[in-house]
Structure 1
Amino acid sequence: MSNGFSLDAIDREILFHLRQDGRLTNAELAKRVGLTPPPCLRRLKRLETEGVITGYRAVINPDAVGRGLEVMIDVEVYANDLKTIQALEDTLASYEEVVEFRRMFGRPDYFLRVAVADHAAYEAFLTGKLTGLPGILRVESHLTMKKIKTDS
């Protein structure tokens, strides 16, 4: 947030309701937060302009699009030169199976969240795309037993 912009209780309430249902009309959102539509729309536009709201998206059922198996992967690297690291990051970020990619402080060096259809598709991803990439020292896969809480 730029220029000392701070959120008040109504802004937080707007964000809460939009996280629950990003398709709310301005009129319905205004009603839920106790405003009339014009000031609600001004607040919404301000939240977008200030970068608090960075976009809107559809939440897709992974099973419906053939991505029902989600695997968390720890990746450690041995490379310490910027060129190899950048090439590795570019390659991993380009894979459509990779739905989240983070560089971490400490170990592991990277965290990947991969979504594929099934175990065979994960094996194909692991052996065909991940294993053997220059700079990778170790890969450790973690399969989810149960999702307890997720933001999406």
Structure 2
Amino acid sequence: MTERLSPTQATLINRAAILESHRADSLRMARRITGNQASAEDAVQNAFLRLLDSPQFPTLSPDLIRYVRRTVANCAIDVLRSAKPVSELPESLPNTENPQLDMEIEQTLGRLSPDHRAVIALHLGEGYSYREIADALQIPMGTVASRLNQARVEFKKIWGES
């Protein structure tokens, strides 16, 4: 005899399948923000758990994508804020064809504040527009612009120290 799923179980299974289809993109984005695979996986797992339980889980595709991006970005920032410094090399290095320069750039990015690293990762790493970053992080576009500017200034300052 086959057991019937309750509506709640069916909803969770459906949501899990939908979220799983966004796992690769979510991991890539989280890896750009956190700088390493383990932290990215933690952030995506936390985000997906939040999304599974969310009463506001959207059903329309554009809203769903924005909602997933926003939740993953916020969880990645949370992971960065709560993390102790990690001495491992990041999974994704810039590609300048100069390994030493790549490592120095990634180390400098790793010293940025979590908010600055997030906007840099989303804008330069993922190619997000200011509007997409604002949606993902739930901040005004003006804040995106100012954080990007502050991140560039902070990067140059740190770069000059090394």
Q: Tell me if both proteins adopt one fold, taking TM over 0.5 as the criterion.
A: no
Structure having the higher helix fraction is 2
- Given the two structures, how large is their TM-score scaled by the length of structure 2? 0.27
- Given the two structures, how large is their TM-score scaled by the length of structure 1? 0.28
Structure having the higher strand fraction is 1
**Whose Rg is larger?**
1
